[in-house]
């Protein structure tokens, strides 16, 4: 229910954990949030004894603090009550914990293009988690789900593996088998094969091949239908280690990108990769940092804008408006905008580059020269 001046309200129902992350990005301090919540209310009986009851009521809060727990995908919003309620005084503080499958209404004075686009994406069912990944090395494995807006570590398996001794490898082999067994259990527990289209198994050396051989041998022995039916979904790729950050290399692998071409995560990784290549070979066509990128935009030079969603959660309204204006302007000039999730591996990397970067259509050299001069004066 939006007005002409883009004020108004939207009612949403979060259906899955990822929706909580989208909601966290929609909320800003000063918005009003209406949702059902539980409040402890003190009651006094006719005899004068005081008791307290937990009562479910609907409150409208003016948002003051927003707290998101990315592991549990829980969202708590604290603020003051701004609507008459029989249990809660006006201006009293309350914390609402938003729950899955329970609707809430969010009102803003200004709904900008970035927020509206996020709502559209969040309501599109094609965006749910369809890639899982197991990044491993001997003795360490991470089982992750790669959703369009975050990389969630679902399990971490660590097993101490003794080194091979000359003429005696039995301890090493036994420990390795125990490790593979635990990773296999984690895969079955955390990966929903009805949704997941592809499971990447990434490792240095031959670890991934040995693991897959072990897993499917065990599946045949125990007649594990779940693993045997989904065998074609497992894709082996190289990574430099078993740590979570090595997932980015796995997602860059050409064999993987062709399989994942329809997922947003692969598109972001590709865009960031293109930016780094450009920075290496044609530095005049790769800019990062808000000032530089805005200058390039004034010259209508931006082909692809890479921007982190973290910047749109900026407390300073003017600063936030500046980022939104940049996004709108790049789109008007027929540029592509990729909004990275700060919970993704690629988003974390973009965050290290100030959170905003651009690949240009043509070199803009004078800018870097001017900036150099002005910065040397400042120094």
pLDDT tens figures, 334-371: 999 998 888 788 888 999 999 999 999 999 875 555 55
Closest to 265 measured CA to CA, from 280, 281, 252, 278: 252
Residue range 70-86: average pLDDT? 89
Rounded CA-CA distance 131/140 in Å is: 20
**pLDDT of 379:** 47
| pLDDT tens readout for residues 262-311 | 556 677 888 899 999 999 999 999 999 999 999 999 999 999 999 998 89
E runs forming strands in 45-186: 50-69, 74-81, 93-98, 104-108, 131-137, 140-146, 151-158
Residue range 233-257: average pLDDT? 85
- Answer yes or no: pTM beyond 0.85: no
Percent of the chain clearing pLDDT 90 (strictly above):
50
Indicate the SS3 state at residue 142.
strand
Closest to 32 measured CA to CA, from 106, 93, 90: 106
Rounded CA-CA distance 275/342 in Å is: 17
**pLDDT of 259:** 66
**pLDDT of 369:** 52
**pLDDT of 158:** 94
Token representation of residue 291: 């000032």
Percent of the chain clearing pLDDT 70 (strictly above):
92
Rounded CA-CA distance 146/375 in Å is: 40
On average, the pLDDT of the chain sits at 86
Residue range 76-81: average pLDDT? 95
Rounded CA-CA distance 96/116 in Å is: 23
pLDDT band at 136 (very low <50, low <70, confident <90, very high): very high
Rounded CA-CA distance 76/96 in Å is: 6
**pLDDT of 127:** 53
pLDDT band at 376 (very low <50, low <70, confident <90, very high): very low
289: left (phi over 0), alpha (psi -120 to 50) or beta: left
**pLDDT of 100:** 85
Q: Which domains does the chain have, with CATH numbers?
A: 8-123 (2.30.30.870), 131-262 (3.30.420.60), 265-372 (3.30.1330.30)
Higher pLDDT, 343 or 28: 28
Higher pLDDT, 260 or 21: 21
| pLDDT tens readout for residues 151-200 | 788 899 999 988 887 777 888 889 999 999 999 999 999 888 877 888 99
**pLDDT of 128:** 58
Contacts for 138-143: CB closer than 8 Å, 24+ residues apart: 138/176, 138/179, 138/207, 139/175, 139/179, 139/242, 140/242, 140/243, 141/179, 141/183, 141/186, 141/242, 142/242, 142/243, 142/244, 142/247, 143/183, 143/186, 143/187, 143/190, 143/191
Is-contact 108 25, C-beta < 8 A? Answer: no
pLDDT at position 377 over 70: no
pLDDT at position 372 over 60: no
Rounded CA-CA distance 342/53 in Å is: 40
pLDDT at position 378 over 50: no
Contacts of 28 (CB under 8 A, 6+ apart): 63, 108, 313, 320
Residue range 51-55: average pLDDT? 86
Rounded CA-CA distance 285/363 in Å is: 5
Residue range 316-330: average pLDDT? 89
pLDDT band at 65 (very low <50, low <70, confident <90, very high): very high
Calculate the CA dihedral of residues 243, 245, 249, 252 and round it to 10 degrees: 140
Helix, strand, coil fractions of the chain, as percent rounded to 5: 40, 30, 30
Residue range 28-38: average pLDDT? 92
């Amino acid at each position: 229910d939006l007005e002409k001046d883009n004020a108004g309200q939207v009612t949403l129902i979060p259906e899955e954990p990822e929706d909580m992350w989208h909601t966290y990005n929609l909320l800003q301090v000063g918005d009003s949030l209406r949702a059902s919540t539980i409040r402890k209310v003190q009651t006094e009986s006719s005899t004068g004894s005081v008791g307290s009851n937990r009562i479910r009521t609907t409150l409208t809060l003016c948002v003051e603090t927003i707290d998101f727990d990315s592991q549990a995908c829980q969202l708590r919003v604290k603020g003051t009550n701004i609507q008459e309620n029989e249990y809660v005084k006006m201006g009293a503080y309350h914390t609402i914990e938003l729950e899955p499958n329970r609707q809430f209404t969010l009102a803003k004075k200004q709904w900008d293009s970035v927020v509206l686009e996020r709502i559209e994406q969040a309501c599109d069912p094609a965006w749910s988690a369809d890639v899982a990944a197991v990044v491993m090395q001997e003795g360490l494995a991470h089982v992750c789900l790669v959703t369009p807006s975050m990389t969630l570590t679902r399990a971490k398996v660590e097993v101490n593996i003794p080194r091979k001794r000359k003429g005696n490898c039995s301890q090493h082999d036994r420990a390795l088998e125990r490790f593979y067994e635990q990773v296999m259990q984690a895969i079955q527990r955390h990966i929903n094969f009805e949704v997941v289209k592809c499971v990447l198994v990434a490792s240095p050396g031959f670890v991934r091949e040995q693991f897959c051989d072990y897993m499917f041998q065990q599946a045949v022995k125990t007649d594990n239908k779940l693993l045997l039916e989904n065998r074609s979904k497992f894709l082996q790729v190289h990574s430099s280690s078993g740590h979570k950050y090595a997932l980015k290399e796995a997602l860059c692998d050409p064999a993987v990108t062709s399989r994942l071409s329809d997922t947003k995560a692969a598109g972001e990784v590709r865009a960031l990769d293109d930016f780094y290549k450009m920075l290496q070979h044609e530095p005049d066509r790769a800019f990062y940092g808000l000032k530089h990128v805005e200058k390039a935009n004034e010259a209508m030079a931006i082909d692809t804008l890479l921007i982190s969603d973290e910047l749109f959660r900026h407390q300073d309204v003017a600063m936030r408006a500046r980022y939104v204006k940049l996004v709108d302007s790049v789109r008007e000039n027929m540029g592509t905008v990729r909004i990275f999730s700060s919970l993704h591996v690629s988003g974390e990397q973009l965050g290290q580059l100030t959170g905003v970067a651009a690949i240009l259509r043509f070199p803009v050299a004078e800018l870097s020269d001017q900036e150099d001069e002005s910065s040397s004066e400042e120094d």
